[in-house]
Amino acid sequence: MKNQCMGLINLEKKGNPNINILNYARPLASTPIAGRYRIIDFVLSNMVNSGITNVGIYAKEKYRSLTDHLGSGKDWDLSRKKGGLYIFSPENTKYNNNYGFRTGDVYSILANIDYIEKSTEEYILIAPAYMLCSMDYKEAIKYHKESKNDITVIYKHVSNADEDFLECMTLDMDSNNRVLNIGANIGAFPSANISMETYIMKRTDFIKCIYKIASLGTHSYFEDYIKRELQNIKVGGFEFNDYLKCINSIQSYSQACKEMLKKEVSTELFNSERKIFTKDKSQAPTIYMKNADVKNSFIATGCKIDGKVENCTIFRKVEIGKGAVIKNCVIMQNCKIEPGVVLENVIFDKNIRISEGKELKGDKDYPMVIEKNQKL
């Protein structure tokens, strides 16, 4: 499978999903998660683990934190002479100047389509960053070849669509897994085929599609083109059966953080043969002081803990003072929580300091989110 398929991670999605103020200064893809990772690490690792060594990331804006995290791609074994990792923006390119007044992922891709044209792989896999899972794409690519589909879309059948995966696309399929209709999940029914918005097709066909859409001017998003052309092209579905979380809101982000504390989910994501790679940041081990009491939590390296922590995700270099009580929280890098502080259902972005004795509580379904670089 190696070198037969290239990867494209599409960060411009219809509806602009985001996680509240956590995405004011960063794209959703580079949002920290699970103590030491960024959301994009999962799809990028899935591609690398599937033998895809030529990956392009199409970002529209706010991509400085993304380039800082990914660097040359060496932590994903993508710093190489042939193929490797590329990050693109639509600014100051030939096609962006021609179509600068148009928005949508079609025009972001068109702005740097020469990268796809110069690539040599036969197939292309297009995926978003916010569908969080651990998946080997090789079986899906094999299915696509054998089925002779024009486009294969990866999906998951769920029984909780009335509570989760809201606003995700849904697939209506026949008994041969051919996609007949694409809709939106409005939470009306529990059972649904949730599109993972991950597509496989021939690279040359994808290039033709992008040029065709741009010339017609009828669509701004690739997914809209697929919906429109369902009667004219063969679109098939490939089912994914393992853990999946769509992170497109602060609620789904909070739920994902809680679910990752469950043994079965963390084992599948982080302890399987398919490793999740991330930027290496070596730190000293965490120090647990005399009063430390930690239950069911993920604690990253470089922390100093002297309080009670329960059902939390604690990132690197966090200090928790004596007598502090932290429950159901996400505390990102380099935060300082002074003695006696009580936090419950709270998400702290990076570099926050909260002074002694203060108390913050959010709702379990709608956590309180504090923007980075604050003193409380």
Q: pLDDT value at position 16?
A: 61
Model confidence at 255, pLDDT cuts 50, 70, 90, reads very high
Contact 260, 132 (CB under 8 A): no
Q: Enter the CATH code of domain 5-270.
A: 3.90.550.10
CATH 3.20.20.70 applies to domain 287-370: no
Q: Which residue has the higher pLDDT, 339 or 79?
A: 339
- What are the residue boundaries of the structural domains of the chain, listed by start? 5-270, 287-370
Most confident of 16-20, 211-215, 217-221, 351-355: 351-355
Whether residue 103 has pLDDT greater than 60: yes
Task: State the Cα–Cα distance between residues 281 and 299, nearest whole angstrom.
Answer: 15
Model confidence at 82, pLDDT cuts 50, 70, 90, reads confident
SS3 189: coil
- This prediction has a pTM of 0.93
Contact 350, 370 (CB under 8 A): no
Whether residue 285 has pLDDT greater than 70: yes
pLDDT, mean over the chain? 91
Task: State the Cα–Cα distance between residues 120 and 129, nearest whole angstrom.
Answer: 24
List of residues 6+ apart from 110 with CB closer than 8 A: 95, 96, 99, 210, 211, 214
Contact 337, 355 (CB under 8 A): no
CA angle 153, 154, 159 (to 5 degrees): 125
Cα Rg, the chain, nearest whole Å: 21
Q: pLDDT value at position 2?
A: 58
The stretch 197-203 carries a mean pLDDT of 96
Whether residue 354 has pLDDT greater than 80: yes
The stretch 264-288 carries a mean pLDDT of 89
Whether residue 96 has pLDDT greater than 70: no
Q: Which residue has the higher pLDDT, 101 or 294?
A: 294
- Is the fold of 5-270 the same as that of 287-370? no
127 forms bridges with which residues in the sheet?
9
Whether residue 69 has pLDDT greater than 80: yes
Q: pLDDT value at position 273?
A: 83
Model confidence at 14, pLDDT cuts 50, 70, 90, reads low
Q: What is the pLDDT of residues 111-122, one digit of tens each?
A: 889 999 999 999
